[in-house]
Structure 1
Amino acid sequence: MSNPRYLVTGGAGFIGSNIVSALVSAGERVRVLDDLSTGSWENLAALESSSSVERIQGDIRNADTVARACAGVEVVLHQAALGSVPRSIDDPITSDAVNVGGTVTVLDVARKQGVRRVIFAASSAAYGDTEVLPKHEDMAPRPLSPYAVTKRACEHYCEVFARIYGLETISLRYFNVFGPHQTPEGVYAAAIPRFVDAALAQRPIRIFGDGEQTRDFCYVDNAVAANLLAATTPRKLTGEIVNIAGGRRVSLNALCTEIGRVMGRRLSVQHEDPRPGDVRHSLADVSRAKELIGYEPKVRWEEGLEPTIRFIEALRSSGLAAAARLVAASRPARTLVFAHNNHGAVNAVAARPEAT
């Protein structure tokens, strides 16, 4: 059997597993590399009997492992990382080793193995706090945490590998991606799954700060579409950086109100001291992503709440594998729509989730 065209590092994690599912739905074979430190094969439970997915458990810092994963691959969608600002503050050395060291290993092995293109999962954390909104790619980065520094350093490496070695690269700066396969467990969990899990358990929702801080939440199908557009664009990529977001912002207080509305209940909120490293306001200008790869956010954050809540309900009642299968079963109602462009590549846009 021929080698897969695509390698997804971190493919057993939140965004990575959604990318894998979308590629398989488009008829592609995919290789997945994950060390399972934060991901789980259960995220791919709906594909466990599929011959379209090849799994490799291993560390992106190990060049031999990465070489095995890159063999015969055309495009690497590099999602593997140690996420979370608080985690990086608690352990900056490991965050740097995995995020920077691992990414340099992926880039170096990829160019030696003849990989054509690497799509890097960057982060809006690189911007830090800025007085001007929306945030655009020409702004000078002001990272506020070790995590943000690691992501910015990786963007530089992507630019350098494109310039020196001719490896096509692009960095997708994600803004607060959320959706199915993102779990609420652990002290480093993201806001929306934490809020939903607390609401389902009828616990107070903990907000760090006054709740008037704003975020540009991006539903995961939008991020998946951005990756596939970047992977398949006929344009030659040379280390560009683009924002991937919803292009709208909402306060955390208003987010809680909307979660309560969708769930049909009034939620209790508990405000705590702000956390170090958190930015105050975030809003993206996505016009460069539209110009470069044709990206447009198709799913509003409000529309993404219902499938996210359903996933976390299933996770709480039946476990991760069952929740992942539920997502796959409902995929036709909120699927990614693929169309071949004039150059024969697969383009992708996210379709709106329909009520079920």
Structure 2
Amino acid sequence: MSSLTVLDLSRNNIGGIIPLRLGNCVALEALDSSKNRLSGGIPRSLGLLRRLQTMQLSNNSLSGEVPSSLKKCTSLETLNLGQNNFSGHIPTWIGKSFPASRILSLRANMFTGNIPPQLLNLTSLQVLDVGQNCLSGLIPQRFENLIAMKNERKISRFFYDGKSGLYYKENLLVFVKGQMLEYTRTISLVTCMDLSSNNLSGEIPEGLTSLLGLRILNLSRNHLTGKIPDKISKLALLESLDFSKNQLSGTIPQSMSNLTFLSHLNLSNNDLFGRIPSGNQLQTLEDPSIYIGNSGLCGPPLTDKCFNDETSQCPMPARGDIEKDEEEYEMLWFYSSTGLGFVTGFWAFCGVLILKKSWRIVYYHYFDDVKDRLYYNWCHFTGCWIEEVSKKFRS
């Protein structure tokens, strides 16, 4: 069938090997044999499919290495070999031979060696999934060529027939938010980098934070060290972030609270320490399992209080206690001010008498005069005038 453009045999129970003569279908644009029981390797004859844009062979029992003959399929946009038993190194020629590549999924195989830096030359690449392999070494550093991951770009591959309409729709399985999800209609929204469950080491490259269109980032289950990049907040579209089960150290950047689309976060089982950032989106992520396995972390949602957390050492008093304290404070202030006023007035008066002799004499004469007047009035009302009269008569 030299005019066949789409061959979709997915989701069946087909066993055996991929036929060699499939290479005769030179007009083929989409080959989907995923979710079957196919075994053996990829025949070299598939390199004759120069028009092939989608190759979906995931979820089978295929093995061996990726044949170099596929480098002739220069129109390939989607290569999905996930969930098989492929081995050997990831071919470096993928980064040069598939310039239009949008989706590269090699998940759950037995690939070894390093992640080829050449993969970062794929300017249209929007999904890179090499999780669950045996890859080692450092994460490549240069991400400036991953233009599609830097922008919110729509990707979707449909094949139409002019008469019957849509008859093939691309799909993709992505491990996100702790589970495997299948994307079909919303595949255009997927921008993913998954390097999880390997033996990668070293630090998280700072260049990762330049992939502004990234929505899913999974580096879990490796041997990564160092700190979480401070510029992680630049990945403003991130919906799922997983750095769990590494040896990351340092504090969690406060800027992470600015990831307003983040709905799944996992930083468990590292060597992180310090107060867990709060505010904005992180306030909605209240599951303590996000941070477990980091003995140095403290603060909500964990039960461990931070050493300098004043709120944990000085609990907020009840409203009744506050009102009682305020009343006692007002009474104390009243009596203190009254006493202070009395002392000030008393010593102001006495100080004048001590310093001014003339004032002191006048003051004392005044009191003598007052005393005499009081004595006279007292005597007048008590009959003292009788004694005065008798004295006059005696005289």
If the TM-score is normalised by the length of the shorter chain, which range does it land in? under 0.3
Greater RCO between the two (CA within 8 Å, min separation 6)? 1
- Write 1 or 2 for the structure with the bigger share of strand: 2
TM-score (norm 2): 0.22
TM-score (norm 1): 0.24
- Write 1 or 2 for the structure with the bigger share of helix: 1
